[in-house]
Amino acid sequence: MVLTIAAAIFVFGLLVLVHELGHFVTAKMTGMRVDEFAIGFGPKLVSFQRGETVYSIHAIPLGGFNDIAGMDPENNDAGSRGYCEKPVGSRMIVILAGSIMNFILPLFLFFGIFFFAGVSTPSPEPVLGTVLAGKPAAEAGLQNGDRVLAIDGQSISTWSDFVNGVKDSTEPVDLTIQRGDTTFDAEVTPTYDSSTQRAMVGVMGTVNTRYPGLVESASLAVQKTGAILYMMVDALYKIILELSGAELAGPIGVAQMAGEVAQMGFVPLLNFAAFLSLNLGIVNLFPIPALDGGHFLTLCVEAVRGKPLSPAALRYTQNVGIILLLLLMILATKNDIVRVLFGG
């Protein structure tokens, strides 16, 4: 539980910090007055003021905000430094900067992973690289480095043999294990994992690692970021076509996943943070009022019309956007509860 909470705070805090920093820096660069730069919501834990801006950290790290003067044209007390008084192009830059930073962060994370931790490829050997705590394999007493010799008396020689031997069964399986110079039997009962739609025992194989140079690490980071973006856009397209929200996960689900990934080590957690950052960047660009994409859409309308939408129209679209987000949050939370409590 402690690891899950710590991992969730780290991941959410990092993504929110980078996203809000994008808005903050571009607002300052375009001459806007930022009254507060905040990470988190709820009770204020720490705050201090530098110049005209208050910097604060709040108790719930599920978001953040920049209090930019003049976001509400009817209450602009910053004159020409108010958001509403800046050119449409400047406001577009500020609105898009958060998502852009979420796209940039994975490039640095993946570069650091490749350069410092190396590039890992799965080993074909049937050797347990990581045994996850609380999972069937760990409960059966298996440890990192154990070699699986046989499943139910049938000898195996590759990691694929091991995976195929357990993925289709939720009945107990007898494993013959070699640990150092000792050979022993262990009974493991796989559990069905709804996300992968197969039975699992909670282990990962070993990997072979090589260390690329500076240029190759940068190239690999770009390639991996592009591949994940393509995969995400394709998955979102299919979800929209099927009108299905079954795969949506809310804060509870993401926190649970962060805790599970953290058990594998800090590098997998950084990979997870990069993946989630790209997800956040894409979702924030959806043309839904109250999201950055919705704000950008209203700015596009303003650019075409030559004048901004009326305050009443802006309030209406914001309210619609908030209702849509609340509905999505309710659906995601329902999915989280089903997964956590019922394993569905």
Cβ-based neighbours of 64, under 8 Å, separated by 6 or more: 16, 17, 19, 20, 38, 39, 40, 41
Residue 71 to residue 138: CA distance in whole angstroms = 53
Bridge partners for 245 per DSSP: none
Q: What are the catalytic residues?
A: 20
Each residue's pLDDT tens digit in the chain (344 positions)?
A: 788 889 989 999 999 999 999 999 999 999 999 999 999 989 999 999 999 999 999 998 888 999 999 998 888 999 999 999 999 999 999 999 999 999 999 999 999 999 999 998 899 999 999 999 889 999 999 999 999 999 999 999 999 999 988 877 778 999 999 999 999 999 999 988 776 677 889 999 999 999 999 999 999 999 999 999 999 888 877 766 665 555 666 677 787 888 889 888 899 999 999 999 999 999 899 888 888 999 999 999 999 998 888 877 878 887 887 887 787 777 777 776 776 666 54
φ, ψ dihedrals at 37, nearest 5°: -115, 110
Interior CA angle at 143 toward 137 and 146, to 5°?
100
User: What letters, b where the CB count within 10 A reaches 16 and e where it falls short, cover 91-112?
Assistant: bbbbbbbbbbbbbebbbebbbe
- The whole-model pTM stands at 0.80
Q: Does residue 70 come out as left (phi exceeding 0), alpha (psi in the -120 to 50 range) or beta?
A: left
Chain centre to alpha carbon of residue 1:
19
Residue 131: how many other CB atoms lie within 10 Å: 22
